Amino acid sequence: MAKYKEIADYLEREILDGKFDKTKKLPTEDELIKHFEVSRNTIRKAINQLVNRGYIYQVQGSGMFLRERSVTDYINLGSLRGLTKDLPSKIIETKILALHVLKADEVKAKQLRCEVGTDLYYIKRLRIVDKEPFSIEVSYFRKDIVPYLNEDIATSSIYTYIIEDLKLSIGFADKVINCDKIDEESAGVLHVNPLDPALIIENTVSLTNGTIFEVSKSIFHYQKAKILNRINFK
Amino acid sequence: MAKYKEIADYLEREILDGKFDKTKKLPTEDELIKHFEVSRNTIRKAINQLVNRGYIYQVQGSGMFLRERSVTDYINLGSLRGLTKDLPSKIIETKILALHVLKADEVKAKQLRCEVGTDLYYIKRLRIVDKEPFSIEVSYFRKDIVPYLNEDIATSSIYTYIIEDLKLSIGFADKVINCDKIDEESAGVLHVNPLDPALIIENTVSLTNGTIFEVSKSIFHYQKAKILNRINFK
DNA sequence: AAGTGGTCTAGACCACCGT
DNA sequence: CGGTGGTCTAGACCACTTC
């Protein structure tokens, strides 16, 4: 891994461990340069990661400060980490409702920018948080890119498998968020009343080379799910 | 303005004007370096802005490519641009439902990290898109930071005023998204039925020095509003 | 092998904050 | 004024894609 990423991950760990909580201030760039023995650019790239991840903000002439930590448990839009890391204080369970291979119809082919008839993994999962139904996730993966999936993988973390075992590198994603009245079937699964609200995220994920390999749709329990997005301007 | 930002804005304009639509590919770094007569780092910083704004992606060894343009009109989470720029094909109108100064109570003081009793501008606005009610926005601004506001400013763009006239620089924001059954009053204003869903964004905005100067809550028409978030991993 | 983006270094000068 | 972050340059070498 690149130096700047290692430094960023190291500092992220320290931030999460509360190392800078007393002062709410990070060491200066010069101090970090000396500590890690790298050039200023490398330190600044590492810091940039932390800024983009929403941990800190920089004030010219003054220093680098911790952003307020969000106390409640939120779904983090900008990470690949998954529910387990987003909701660390909760018990997360996953139940596979369906997992099989099917052929892309016209709609899916268009969404995935692939040919009609391409093999896709179809996966439907129920996510359970603290023993209560939390969300329903329906995903389609291109089988030519993700050649094998099973219940074990889908129960733990598909993304960990894709990144660490298949060595694929994920580049970017489009997320569309909206809300609507829930459909009857989902209402039953999530234990809400028909026509209650549902928070919906539609997700299109690409590899670094631009190939779309997954589209998914998640339906969240409207009282249990909150999404947090931390934004930087500059 | 910094060189890299000027270059980024210039290239953004070219992208939006469709200059690279045929090839879906940007010039190489070397070409940009020669064209703008700057160092490689400066070009790379400019390009990084475009990546973060969701316009392009980079492929090592290959080049820089346009991301698919989203056809439909979405609210862009990661920008300060406001509805007018997010929904360029629509007619946007704003109706001021309330605008006055009040004192921060305990709840607002805590949200804004200020003293109880601090003067705040309270603004309630109805946003109308293509002649139909779209969202209700309730905002609180710290009056010691935004000392003056009126109906004209609140009708056009508060952020343009804050940035260009007050010369304040906005640093970062926390956005919490959820959905819920709409309250009765808002249902009437947005022309939906009571207990219909509502998409809600709560927003906490800070200056570059970390001071929170605004908190707001927007309630969107559940059938009309879709939020788009473009994410990069790396 | 040539082309193109990714990482890293070393050094200079500027802009802003706080004392 | 000293400390700290922001911008910019010039150059080197690496990693991946494409042919």
List pLDDT tens digits, range B133-188.
999 999 999 999 999 999 999 999 999 999 989 999 999 999 999 999 999 999 99
Q: Could you tell me whether strands A227-232 and A75-76 are parallel, antiparallel, or unpaired per DSSP bridges?
A: parallel
Pick the CATH number of B75-228 from 3.40.1410.10, 3.40.50.970, 3.40.630.10, 3.30.930.10: 3.40.1410.10
Under a CB-based contact definition with an 8 Å cutoff, are residues A37 and A44 in contact? no
Q: What is the mean pLDDT of chain B?
A: 95
Interface of B with A in 151-190 (CB under 8 A): 170-181
Query: Does residue B78 surpass a pLDDT of 90?
Result: no
Q: Percent of chain B, pLDDT > 90?
A: 89
Q: Which helix (H) or strand (E) holds A217?
A: strand A212-221
For residues B63-69, average pLDDT: 94
pLDDT of residue A84: 84
Instruction: Specify the long-range contacts of residues B146-151, CB closer than 8 Å, at least 24 apart.
Output: B146/B121, B146/B213, B146/B214, B149/B99, B149/B121, B149/B123, B150/B99, B151/B96, B151/B99
Give B170's strand partners.
B207
Q: HEC string of B74-137?
A: CEECCCCCCHHHHCCCCCEEEEEEEEEEEECCHHHHHHCCCCCCCEEEEEEEEEEECCEEEEEE
Q: Which bases of chain C are contacted by protein, using any atom under 7 A from a CB?
A: 2-12, 15-18
What pLDDT shows up at residue A71? Answer: 77
pLDDT at A176: 96
The alpha-carbon gap from B151 to the nearest alpha carbon of chain A, in Å, equals: 26
Residue ranges of domains in chain A: 3-66, 75-228
Listed by number, the residues of chain A in 191-210 with a beta carbon closer than 8 Å to a beta carbon of chain B are 196-199, 206, 208-210
Contacts of residue A96, Cβ cutoff 8 Å, sequence gap at least 6: A123, A124, A125, A151, A154, A155
A199 token code pair: 């928070």
Please state the rounded mean pLDDT for residues B91-111.
96
Nucleotide nearest to B59 (CA to C1'): C5
SS3 A140: strand
Distance CA B218, CA B131 (A): 18
Name B195's Cβ contacts closer than 8 Å, sequence gap at least 6.
Answer: B181, B182, B187
| Longest CA span, chain B | 60
* Residue B210 Cα, gap to closest chain A Cα (Å): 7
The residue that leads in pLDDT, A220 or B80, is: A220
When pLDDT is cut at 50, 70 and 90, the band that residue B84 belongs to is confident
Residue A157 CB neighbour total at 10 angstroms: 18
Q: At what angle do helices A29-36 and A40-52 cross, to 10 degrees?
A: 110
B191: left (phi over 0), alpha (psi -120 to 50) or beta: left
Beta bridge partner(s), residue A21? none
Nearest CA in chain B to A78: B231
d(CA B125, CA B56): 35
CB contact at 8 A, B60 and B21: no
Establish, for the pair of chains A and B, how many residue pairs have beta carbons separated by less than 8 Å.
141
pLDDT for residue B83 is more than 90: no
Residue B33 token pair: 């370096």
- Reduced DSSP (H G I as helix, E B as strand, rest coil) percent helix, strand, coil of chain A, to 5: 30, 35, 35
- Exposed e or buried b for every residue in B16-27, given b needs 16+ CB within 10 A? eeeebeeeeebb
Residues of chain A with pLDDT under 50: none
What pLDDT is stored for residue B75 in this prediction?
94
Measured from Cα to the C1' atom, the residue closest to C8 is: A42
pLDDT tens profile A8-60 = 999 999 999 999 999 999 999 999 999 999 999 999 999 999 999 999 999 99
Q: Identify whether the C-beta of residue A149 lies closer than 8 Å to the C-beta of residue A99.
A: yes
CATH T-level topology, domain A3-66? Arc Repressor Mutant, subunit A (1.10.10)
Specify the pLDDT at position A56.
Answer: 97
User: What's the confidence (pLDDT) of residue A229?
Assistant: 94
Same fold: B3-66 with B75-228 = no
% residues pLDDT > 70 (chain B): 100
Res B81 pLDDT > 80:
no
The whole-angstrom separation of Cα B114 and Cα B108 is 8
Q: Closest residue by Cα to the C1' atom of nucleotide D9?
A: B39
Q: For chain A, give the number of residues.
A: 234
